[in-house]
Amino acid sequence: MKKYNYFDDDDLILDEIRNRVKTAEPEQKHDRAEVLDAIRAFSKDGSEKVISVARTALRRNPFEELENASKRKKRWVTAFMFFVFILFFVLLVLITVHSVTKQNEKIEKFNADAGTVCTQYIVQYGSCNYENLYDKYKVQGYRMTGLCYVREMDFDGDGTSELLMVYNDSGVFYVEVWGYNGKGKFATLYHEKATQKKKKTTPAWVTVYSRNNRYYIGVHDNKDISKVSLYTLRGDKFEKKMNCTYDEKAEAFSIRKKVDPLNFERIRLGVLSESKAIVTQNLVTDTIDGFSSGGGDAAVKAAAINASLNGSYYRIIEELNQKYGTAKYVEKNGLAYIKGLAVVDLIDFDNDGRDELMLIYRKTVKSRTEDYHGNYVSVEEDKYYIEIYRYNGNSAVIAYKGEGISNSLNSSADQYFVLEKKGGVTNYCHNSFSSKNYGRTINATSTVLKYNKTSFDTDFKASYHSDYGYTEYYIDDEYVRKSTFEEEGYRVPLFDGSEEYNDGTYIVTYLQRKSTSAGKIKSQVERTQQTIKKLNPAYDGE
């Protein structure tokens, strides 16, 4: 019988290795686990490489050879697992980066769309501002005006923001929610009046309720303000979800007769403190700035700047209206004039694209004059004062202030102001006449003031002094002959007594004249009111 050679059979090779391991010397038994692991691994793989290792192990020391083979196997497995880990990590990073990129794109798109809507509403209703209710209605407190509230919120908790807005249209507050509809278009999802009783001077607010990462809008019953319906966003529509009650005296909300002091919010809009109005205005300005810096276009940034500019200018107007009264046309004792804050005009004096604010108001002052006996006496007279403001990026600051506007030598009744249009810029002109000794002594000065970005400088000055028939003439404070003065000194209209001038270059606006020559004085009141409404569309002129 031929002796069987186990080197010729792969299965016998592995069986022989197992037998040798079992009968190994005691000092080698600590290696058994390592070798048996290798055998189990080799048993699952019948490749030539594995059988070759096994044959080598039988010819030599099986413990040493199989231990080495097992270590090589483990290194390969470790390398493979490391590769898998690196691949998983890279995929995780790529997925995270893609997710962040998509989220950033979503945020940028929302900011751009929200900013565009805010811009449109600022243009239509004015920037966020506030007004004192006492001035008009004798009611203590303030109310928001223009685009008076803006807030980014996620009403349906789906991770995509909606835009809550409130605006004041002629004293009535409206609430809107903008978001993406089923077609992916940024559109109006909600539009209703805010909570307010019939009178425009009563408190006004928006009720918001939050629960489980969702926001609800509370709609108070028109007949019974204590009854509130809570609406939530589903798809692209707001639907009624539940009811609650409101205790107006305690300013508390209850659900199922249980007071909830934490999850309800009243966004106050009317009859609120000045400090609260300022906080709200700053909040709206910061929110719009956020839309601008987060991907909004240049129009949003311009609107944000314009909102602050309009608000700053309007606050000054409101103060002067309160102090001197609103513009009113008056005919009295043969005179026609505008009293109160007579002129409000937005003029881009330096043609840089940003308006300055020109204000002229009338007030009663005391002055000293001589009576028929040469004695100084105190008298009251009505005078016009002019103030011009510029916006420095944060607030309105004074650029020019003058006591009195232009007058005429031939008519003490005339009060007017002159603007010169030249080379794309606008200059302010001023004619001043004073006389004494029954007209025997006359001082006359005509100036052209040019805006230099921060203040007004004298661009041209002409003056003369006449004393009992002897007259001295000056241009830019230098003495000149009469002939030179007559050629160059009467640059500003009406300084020479003539009412003829180039109306393509100069604009002359009368604020006071004799009633028989009143002309277009009355129309100035309407122009003033229209300009104020540009700054605050909610202004009603009262």
| DSSP strand pairing (376-391 vs 441-451) | unpaired
Residue 370: beta bridge partners? 376
Show the tokens assigned to 289. 């700035």
Q: What is the pLDDT of residues 83-125, one digit of tens each?
A: 777 877 777 777 766 665 666 788 888 988 998 898 888 878 8
As a whole number of angstroms, the distance between CA 230 and CA 265 comes to 13
3-state secondary structure of 467: strand
pLDDT at position 29 is: 47
Identify the residue with better confidence: 386 or 15.
386
Instruction: Please say whether the beta carbons of 217 and 175 come within 8 A.
Output: yes
- Count of Cβ atoms closer than 10 Å to residue 150 Cβ: 25
pLDDT at position 388 is: 97
pLDDT at position 370 is: 66
As a whole number of angstroms, the distance between CA 11 and CA 193 comes to 89
Q: Which of 224-238, 299-313, 350-364, 440-454 has the lowest mean pLDDT?
A: 299-313
Instruction: Please say whether the beta carbons of 225 and 195 come within 8 A.
Output: yes
As a whole number of angstroms, the distance between CA 205 and CA 186 comes to 25
Mean pLDDT of 372-388: 81
Which residue has tokens 């000293």?
368
pLDDT at residue 25 tops 70: no
Integer angstrom CA distances of residue 221 from 165, 172, 197? 21, 17, 10
As a whole number of angstroms, the distance between CA 246 and CA 206 comes to 13
As a whole number of angstroms, the distance between CA 445 and CA 433 comes to 7
| DSSP strand pairing (376-391 vs 237-247) | unpaired
3-state secondary structure of 23: coil
Q: What is the CA radius of gyration of the chain?
A: 43
Closest to 488 (Cα-Cα) out of 456, 461, 507: 461
Query: Under 8 Å CB-to-CB from 73, ≥6 apart: which residues?
Result: 38, 41
Which residue has tokens 């609800």?
216
Q: How confident is the model at residue 2 (pLDDT cuts 50, 70, 90)?
A: very low
As a whole number of angstroms, the distance between CA 253 and CA 209 comes to 10
As a whole number of angstroms, the distance between CA 82 and CA 527 comes to 79
pTM to 2 decimals? 0.54
Q: How confident is the model at residue 295 (pLDDT cuts 50, 70, 90)?
A: very low
Identify the residue with better confidence: 177 or 171.
177
pLDDT at residue 7 tops 50: no
Instruction: Please say whether the beta carbons of 65 and 53 come within 8 A.
Output: yes
* CA triple 201-204-210, angle to 5 deg: 175
Inter-axis angle of helices 48-59 and 10-22, to 10 degrees?
A: 40
pLDDT at residue 302 tops 90: no
Show the tokens assigned to 95. 């997925």
Mean pLDDT of 290-298: 59
pLDDT at position 16 is: 60
Which residue has tokens 């945020």?
107
Task: Evaluate the CA torsion angle 508, 513, 519, 520 in order and state its sign.
Answer: positive
Instruction: Please say whether the beta carbons of 156 and 216 come within 8 A.
Output: no
Identify the residue with better confidence: 207 or 374.
207
Instruction: Please say whether the beta carbons of 442 and 466 come within 8 A.
Output: yes
Identify the residue with better confidence: 99 or 327.
327
Residue 347: beta bridge partners? 356
Identify the residue with better confidence: 3 or 235.
235
As a whole number of angstroms, the distance between CA 62 and CA 22 comes to 12
In DSSP notation, 334-403 reads: TEEEEESEEEEEEE-TT-SS--EEEEEEEEEEEEEEE-TTS-EEEEEEEEEEEEEEEE-SSSEEEEEEEE
pLDDT at residue 30 tops 80: no
Closest to 329 (Cα-Cα) out of 202, 511, 499, 157: 511
Instruction: Please say whether the beta carbons of 203 and 194 come within 8 A.
Output: no
| DSSP strand pairing (186-193 vs 172-180) | antiparallel
Query: Under 8 Å CB-to-CB from 106, ≥6 apart: which residues?
Result: 160
Instruction: Please say whether the beta carbons of 312 and 127 come within 8 A.
Output: no
Tell me the pLDDT of the chain averaged across its residues: 83
Identify the residue with better confidence: 414 or 74.
414
Virtual torsion, Cα 391, 392, 395, 396, nearest 10 deg: -40
| Residue 445 identity | T
